């Protein structure tokens, strides 16, 4: 069994990656229904939290049906991160996760996210201060290194373990790679199999099918897998992987009715959490993913992104279901 502190995550947990503008409570709700074992909030700026910025504070919202859940924070200043960890702990998550992996320029080039991989002693000190500050488990998500010439992930893992983190997730790319190329899980396996590493090690990067999850689980020996982009518009990936692990058989893809119902549920929860105007706006990025591979969906998508009321969106989704049931033009 994989444990983080006293938190038991089962034999081989599937984790939902923290993704900005994606892994909010509405999206987390549909992932939870499909079997994800552990989820995280979107990453939250430490400076925003300590200044009580509305957007940052709202990201602290967690619900009992989401548990277990971690709140992820990021920042470049040790004192700000320490204070932010205390604020996050007060929201009563199961753990605090530190983002040392975000590669985007506005984060990494200010010394936060993956930027701190250029200063490993500071990373260690920041982590130590956060661990001292809170009473719940602290975990970290990071990348292999800043670039291919500075991969020191074993040293990073040992240093972070030494100051008290209780699990480590590694994305198998460097910051320089961003999301290009193939994630290199060999380095993740080296960390997992190192004689001095005893905390759970989770792998992240490029898992987009049950078969690949099975292959990487057994090839690289990780304690669990974190899934990000493959879950966007396809929360069923968690149940599909779990079914494959148990039976070595692939589940059939979600039916048209399931796709429409889940999209609608995601949309309604988005409205409930963000209000009608913002909920409608922020849901627009998800429609294509829910109906990827459906012939002639472009026209429906244009109408969905132009819709301005909750009822209008629900009505169009009803038309989507009727159209594809009648025409049988679905291509998986």
| Selection from 194, 248, 7, 220 nearest residue 204 by Cα | 220
Confirm whether 102 is a catalytic residue. yes
Q: Is 227 strand, coil or helix?
A: strand
Phi/psi for 70 (5° steps) reads -115, 145
Q: Is 73 strand, coil or helix?
A: strand
Q: Which residues pair with 98 in a beta bridge?
A: 73, 140
d(CA 53, CA 78): 19
CA 149 remoteness from chain centre = 27
d(CA 236, CA 108): 32
R_g (Cα) of the chain, nearest Å: 20
Cβ–Cβ < 8 Å for 203, 188 = yes
d(CA 236, CA 122): 39
Cβ–Cβ < 8 Å for 103, 113 = yes
- Per the listing, tokens 């990656």 go with 17
Kindly report the length of the chain: 332
Reading the block at residue 44, the tokens are: 């939250």
Of 31, 102, 109, 263, the active-site residue reads 102
H/E stretch holding 192 reads: helix 186-192
| Selection from 125, 187, 121 nearest residue 151 by Cα | 187
Q: How far is CA 120 from CA 116, 146, 323, in A?
A: 7, 11, 55
Query: According to the 3-state scheme, what is the secondary structure of 213-238?
Result: HHHHHHHHCCCEEEECHHHCCCCCHH
Which residues have a catalytic role annotated?
A: 102
């Amino acid at each position: 069994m994989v444990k983080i502190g006293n938190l038991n995550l089962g034999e081989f947990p599937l984790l939902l990656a923290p993704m900005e503008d994606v892994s909010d409570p509405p999206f987390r709700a549909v992932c939870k229904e499909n079997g994800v074992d552990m989820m995280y909030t979107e990453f939250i700026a430490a400076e925003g939290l300590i200044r009580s910025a509305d957007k940052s504070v709202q990201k602290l919202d967690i619900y009992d049906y989401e548990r277990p859940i971690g709140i992820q924070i990021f920042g470049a200043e040790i004192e700000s991160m320490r204070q932010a960890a205390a604020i996050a702990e007060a929201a009563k998550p199961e753990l605090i996760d530190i983002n040392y992996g975000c590669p985007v320029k506005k984060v990494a080039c200010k010394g936060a996210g993956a930027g701190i991989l250029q200063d490993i002693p500071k990373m260690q000190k920041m982590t130590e201060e956060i661990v001292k500050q809170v009473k719940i488990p602290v975990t970290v998500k990071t990348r292999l290194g800043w670039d291919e010439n500075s991969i020191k992930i074993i040293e990073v893992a040992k240093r972070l373990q030494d100051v008290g983190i209780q699990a480590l997730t590694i994305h198998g790319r460097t910051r320089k790679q961003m999301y290009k190329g193939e994630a290199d899980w060999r380095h993740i396996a080296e960390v997992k199999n190192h004689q001095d590493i005893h905390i759970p090690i989770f792998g992240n990067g490029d898992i987009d099918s049950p078969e690949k999850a099975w292959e990487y689980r057994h090839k690289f020996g990780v304690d669990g897998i974190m899934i990000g982009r493959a879950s966007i518009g396809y929360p069923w990936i968690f149940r599909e992987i779990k079914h494959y692990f148990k039976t070595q058989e692939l589940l059939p893809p979600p039916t048209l009715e399931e796709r429409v119902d889940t999209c609608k549920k995601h949309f309604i929860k988005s409205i409930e959490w963000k209000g009608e105007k913002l909920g409608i706006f922020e849901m627009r990025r998800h429609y294509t993913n829910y109906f990827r591979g459906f012939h002639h969906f472009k026209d429906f998508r244009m109408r969905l992104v132009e819709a301005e009321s909750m009822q209008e969106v629900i009505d169009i989704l009803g038309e989507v279901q009727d159209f594809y049931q009648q025409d049988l033009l679905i291509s998986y």
